[in-house]
């Protein structure tokens, strides 16, 4: 055990690599959070998404190099675009073929950082869907964590509790280890009942488990090899056999699937020694469900929290989020009301955690509202469905300057394109031509075709589809600037669109 003096320096300049864990789905924030555009990519607090805020915090840590990202294959273009929008260039974007919990993510991160920077390098794992208001306090705590990790402690952050929370696990702090309030970890504690949580709060020795970790990669990999040998080896193989394409690293699906689906807490943290705790009092929130707004200041004297076009009469303590339309509440108390262009959620605040049950019901019914909004983002821009009926569908399509859709064809539908704004370069069969505003063209069923923005402003058009089948899996790609040909041909029935 270390003494209460400051940590001696083992490596004067350890490389610190922030690892942004961005693979969550955020089901409890439905209908705003969807599988293809989950909560970490939404601007829920402030103008930037939670993911973008996390990336900016990571770049501000003393001694940190460019962050790496671990995310889902399905979100790869969103990750790249959101980082580009805030001028953060990642050291790597590693893509998980499926979700395997935080143990596999930590194993992949440790292997990758060790390969790139050596086993003495430090990895800093942080979730991409947390909110922190005091960035300076976070920076100072990060420095203390790096110092402790450089002495071969595996470091976790203990969030200073502000309420008797029953939805989080707790960490009990032990003896002091050094400056900045760093302590030993005496124990990890499961989610308590409310009376136990009140006792925890009163002692001052218990902290919320914030799910952030800093460790020297060599130390963590040694523990992983001892405790989880199969996950150690399969995660190493998943990285070794990965495909590198278009700026992404696609982990090997077969090896990754053999990694145990478990949390880093249960598999490693609760079974090893030399665990340090760094207290973090920085306005931290796990934006996990709609009731997170209850912990923000109300926007009116009756403690309502509103977003968008909302009218309240004799309403108290409500959380109301409007995306498109006016929401009016009369005489309503302590309810959540969330409106999007294709769904409305109404629930008592004390049942906010049950939103995931709605999502499960939607999945069981194979409803599209669980996967996408009407506006669906793609690497070239976005499309949104305006109307859908028997044998027809109308979409609005927006293509970014310099971008183009794949060269493709459909077996079951024809398409009409009407240019609303901008300049399009259109390829149909062997013919390529330019279309401007108010001009249109027709693509017969079975014709190969491509759409490209040939101008300097966003290209907008209306697409009218007609045919016996209008599903997004009716597409054959012949060439694609974003490497999606293999994904489209292997995933029948999924939402891979041009």
Secondary structure element (H or E) that encloses residue 232, with its range = helix 229-240
Full DSSP string of 328-355: EEES-BSEEEEE-SS-EEEEEGGGGGGH
Q: How confident is the model at residue 297 (pLDDT cuts 50, 70, 90)?
A: low
pLDDT digits (tens, 9 = 90+) for 229-281: 999 999 999 999 999 988 899 999 999 999 999 999 999 999 999 999 999 99
Cα 442 to its chain centre, rounded Å, is 38
Domains of the chain are 16-286 (3.90.550.10), 290-359 (no CATH), 374-490 (2.60.120.10)
Q: Tell me the pLDDT of the chain averaged across its residues.
A: 91
| pLDDT, position 175 | 92
Per-residue burial over 249-276, b if 16 or more Cβ lie within 10 Å, else e, is bbbbeebbebbeebbbbebbbeebebbb
Residues sharing a CB contact under 8 Å with residue 177, sequence separation 6 or more, in sequence order: 1, 2, 4, 7, 148, 153, 183, 184, 276
- Matching residue, tokens 């605040």: 349
Secondary structure element (H or E) that encloses residue 139, with its range = helix 135-149
Instruction: Compute, in degrees rounded to 10, the torsion defined by CA atoms 36, 23, 232, 486.
Output: 30
| pLDDT, position 9 | 46
pLDDT digits (tens, 9 = 90+) for 430-451: 999 999 999 999 999 999 999 9
Q: Quick check: 92 pLDDT over 90?
A: yes
| Confidence (pTM) | 0.86
Full DSSP string of 109-134: HHHHHHHHH-TTSEEEEEETTEEES-
pLDDT digits (tens, 9 = 90+) for 279-289: 999 999 888 88
């Amino acid at each position: 055990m270390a003494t209460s003096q400051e940590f001696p320096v083992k490596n004067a300049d350890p490389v610190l690599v922030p690892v942004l864990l961005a693979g969550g789905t955020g089901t409890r924030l439905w209908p705003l959070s969807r599988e293809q555009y989950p909560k970490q990519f939404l601007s829920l607090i402030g103008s930037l998404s939670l993911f973008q805020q996390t990336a900016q915090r990571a770049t501000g840590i003393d001694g940190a190099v460019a962050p790496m990202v671990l995310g889902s294959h399905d979100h790869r273009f969103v990750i790249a675009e959101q980082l580009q929008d805030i001028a953060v260039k990642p050291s790597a974007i590693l893509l998980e073929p499926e979700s395997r919990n935080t143990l596999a993510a930590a194993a992949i991160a440790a292997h990758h950082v060790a390969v790139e920077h050596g086993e003495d390098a430090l990895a800093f794992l942080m979730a991409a869907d947390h909110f922190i208001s005091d960035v300076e306090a976070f920076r100072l705590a990060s420095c203390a964590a790096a110092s402790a990790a450089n002495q071969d402690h595996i470091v976790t952050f203990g969030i200073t509790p502000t309420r008797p929370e029953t939805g989080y696990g707790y960490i009990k702090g032990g003896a002091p280890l050094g400056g900045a309030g760093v302590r030993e970890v005496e124990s990890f504690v499961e989610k308590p009942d409310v009376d136990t949580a009140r006792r925890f709060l009163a002692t001052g020795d218990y902290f919320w488990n914030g799910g952030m970790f800093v460790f020297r990669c060599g130390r963590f990999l040694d523990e992983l090899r001892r405790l989880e040998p199969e996950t150690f080896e399969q995660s190493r193989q998943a990285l070794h056999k990965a495909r590198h394409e278009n700026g992404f690293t696609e982990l090997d699906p077969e090896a990754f699937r053999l990694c145990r689906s478990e949390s880093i807490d249960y598999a490693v943290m609760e079974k090893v020694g030399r665990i340090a705790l760094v207290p973090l009092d920085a306005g931290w929130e796990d934006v996990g469900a709609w009731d997170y707004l209850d912990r923000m200041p109300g926007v009116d004297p009756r403690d309502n929290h509103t977003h968008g076009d909302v009218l309240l009469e004799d309403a108290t303590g409500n959380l109301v989020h409007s995306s498109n339309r006016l929401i009016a509440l009369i005489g309503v108390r302590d309810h959540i009301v969330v409106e999007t262009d294709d769904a409305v959620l109404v629930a008592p605040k004390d049942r906010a955690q049950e939103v995931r049950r709605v999502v499960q019901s939607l999945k069981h019914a194979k409803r599209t509202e669980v996967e996408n909004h009407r506006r669906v983002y793609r690497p070239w821009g976005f499309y949104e469905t305006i109307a859908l009926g028997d044998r027809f569908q109308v979409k609005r399509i927006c293509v970014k300057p310099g971008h183009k859709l794949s060269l493709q064809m459909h077996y079951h539908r024809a398409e009409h394109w009407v240019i609303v704004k901008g300049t399009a370069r259109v390829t149909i069969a062997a013919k390529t031509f330019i279309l401007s505003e108010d001009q249109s063209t027709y693509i017969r069923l079975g014709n190969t075709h491509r759409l490209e923005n040939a101008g300097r402003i966003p290209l907008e058009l209306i697409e009218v589809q007609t045919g016996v089948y209008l599903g997004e899996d009716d597409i054959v790609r012949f060439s694609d600037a974003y490497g999606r040909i293999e994904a489209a041909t292997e995933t029948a029935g999924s939402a891979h669109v041009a």
